[in-house]
Structure 1
């Protein structure tokens, strides 16, 4: 049963006001920088960085609607320098026009350079959306003239709120009786992507006549029938890279090479694949095999020089190596634990003994007093507390259960005794 609308549900439900937006309260809530910018009418050029389906395009549309400025939009997938220059020419007649560029990371250097002058002069206010780290994909000159705002993945409660909004507010869905009896499959398949979630809800409603009772089994059956082919600019892109990463993490070189082949055949950017492997080499292998990070970094550099088709061989070698390597997420867990401590305890004072003391005044204030220089002691080690008093004795790093990190554990145990087991 097709719903009587030409627009997809995700478009029909796209918020037009900040108060309608689900998620991103740190940017659009009462104290959010974007809300404050809208209220002041002073919108800076910005890069919105975050995963798919969390509100990047929606925020750009809301900004344009709220500040009542001319609004132009381009997709970096299809637009070129000529399109950029045409928009800039139009914007000259209305300063501070807003230009929204979706997937700005896909613009090459010359395309990004074409924006620079207009952004500098204030001819346009640029809003770029990207799923990729802008530090890698947006050139430094343009990046320095823009604010970078990070959008967070949507949580379970937020995704369920989006479904409820759609069922109670959408004119088409209100005509149907839809009961969400189970929701886990909806959340799993959508992967935190709000747009994908709403499209899935619509697919279910179109596929089931009469009353709709959503169960995990129903969702899985319908989703399997509608799996899309790989599209580097579409939703399946994120499913394939997820499968690729999880296959390497799961030490399955066969599956990992298969998903690598899917991406290569789909025309995926060689840098995108290589960059993901650099991250994985540290996050999922770490000190279980430190050479993994060195190899992945070298591969990133190599494929940039070589390019396709030969780069496929280099990528394959690295994929097989990473998948076949022992795994550890101990370093990843350590920094996550430390960040949690920082967020919970705030800016704790650094112990006086290890503070920098470049001036006489600081020395008189006991900066550096009592510091014990490790190299002056046997084994180049002295048992001294370096953490702030409030969290002294805390252990953030727990070595993984693998040969290399067991060696690290033994060494740390010999130094710190009770902290690592004695």
Structure 2
């Protein structure tokens, strides 16, 4: 007997239950239900290059394999994590051989395609263009940001969604009943256990089956998988959250927009989701400080102070005290009167600066610390506001001479900005009535 001979490891449950045809495929009804464009294209054999964009475990690889099956195409796969231009050229050569020998088309499935750099993505273009390959890329990241325009223009993007509860239940039923799954073991899964499993899967079919398989190893044949066994197996699981990826920016966007929309409950939900997914609380605290200026501004200046204090608490005390302080700040922002007047004014001023170039400071606004500067007119005719009535130099012009005075800041009729608006309107009236206006060239 060969001492080094080993029995090949059994395939994971998720691999054994991979759909063998389109009718077995679970989920993505918005793409594959009868009458939908992708289903029609498949049944008619009208294949085209495409990008599958969706979260992990929703069937991107399985769907690509089924496309090859129904269209009688050769299937080649490479992973962008492990491959480079060399592997791309090898796949192209294989595709040419199949075309020459049997006339079959080749589907090249590229997993994690967003990990290829621009030059690697460009390597596909000639072969997609001349029909050597039918390109199918899979990505969990937004193709608009991660794939170059040349590749996107040659492929149609299909968005795959997380599996809903009905789809996940169907997977569990197949796993427990089919012989190639766990059917031979006659295991049962009480509803309470199933609910725990569905929540832990979080729309990821592969994760669901992996968890079910791991749980089945903890019980004997014919037994039930108890809620206690599942809880012990799961421990402190995390909902889906990709630091720096699409889910990350979607969730911080949802938090920000909930604050803007004055909904403290939704804002707290997204805050909790991000923490639960492993987001650094200090990152959220920093973004909350920005929200204070962007969304509330001078309608309630206390908001900025409160958010800075919450950030300080998070840095000093950490979790959980800091997280509670940040939550307090988020609720305050959501409930505070809203104004984006400062944010809008700042952006308008920046646009003028970029458009007008390096305009000189008017002489009357320049500092004159030396005799020469005074001789050159620096500071001439400058009016010291504190010496004027109401500490305001009515009619004075503080813009560069080549730029007409602007009104960037438009306070909203809410919160403290009500009083700020009244004061600015009063000062504007004084300007209009002033007989001393600086002459402009």
TM class by shorter chain equals 0.5 to 0.7
- 1:275 & 1:9 partners in 2: Cα distance? 28
Distance 1:79 1:64, change over 3 A: same
Within 5 Å, give how 1:241-252 maps onto structure 2: 242=241
The whole-number CA distance in structure 2 between the counterparts of 1:169 and 1:411 is 66
Aligned counterpart in structure 2 of residue 321 of structure 1, from 262, 279, 286: 286
What's the CA shift for 1:204?
1.2
Q: Is the 8 A contact 1:287 1:405 kept in 2?
A: no
Alpha-carbon distance in structure 2 between the residues aligned to 1:274 and 1:62: 28
Q: Please give the per-residue CA displacement for 1:157-177, whole angstroms capped at 9, x wherever unaligned.
A: 210111001111133512212
Q: Give 1:133's aligned residue.
A: 142
SS of 1:79 mapped into structure 2: coil
Whether 1:83 and 2:87 are equivalent positions in the alignment is: yes
The 5 Å alignment of 1:10-409 reads: 10-95=14-99, 96-171=105-180, 173-181=182-190, 182=192, 183-224=194-235, 239=238, 242=241, 273=244, 278-286=249-257, 288=259, 318-322=283-287, 402-403=332-333, 406-408=336-338
Q: TM-score, normalising length from structure 2?
A: 0.56
Residues 240 and 175 of structure 1: is their aligned pair in 2 closer, same or farther, counting only changes over 3 Å?
closer
Query: 1 CA distance for matches of 2:291 and 2:230?
Result: 36
Which stretch has the larger CA shift, 72-81 or 27-36? 27-36
How far has the Cα of 1:211 moved from its partner? Answer: 2.6
| Native 8 Å contact 1:70 1:98 kept in 2 | yes
How many angstroms does 1:25 deviate by? 1.1
Q: Secondary structure at the match of 2:135?
A: strand
- The 8 Å contact of residues 51 and 151 in structure 1, kept in 2 or not, is answered as yes
Which protein shows a greater Rg? 2
Query: Secondary structure at the residue paired with 2:11?
Result: coil
Distance 1:319 1:406 in 2: 19
TM-score for both structures, normalised by structure 1: 0.59
Distance 1:279 1:202, change over 3 A: closer
> How many aligned residue pairs are there?
275
Structure 1 unmatched ranges of 5 or more = 228-235, 245-271, 291-314, 331-399, 414-422
Shift of 1:289: 7.1
Unmatched 5+ stretches in structure 2: 1-7, 100-104, 262-279, 296-329, 340-411, 416-441
SS of equivalent residue, structure 2 residue 23: helix
- In 2, Cα distance between equivalents of 1:10 and 1:406: 49
C-alpha displacement of 1:205: 1.2
**Aligned-pair Cα RMSD in Å:** 3.2
SS at match of 2:77: strand
Checking the alignment, whether the CA contact within 8 Å between 2:141 and 2:245 is kept in structure 1 is no
Q: Which moved more, 1:122-131 or 1:400-409?
A: 400-409
- After the TM superposition, which of the residue ranges 187-196 and 31-40 deviates more from structure 2? 31-40
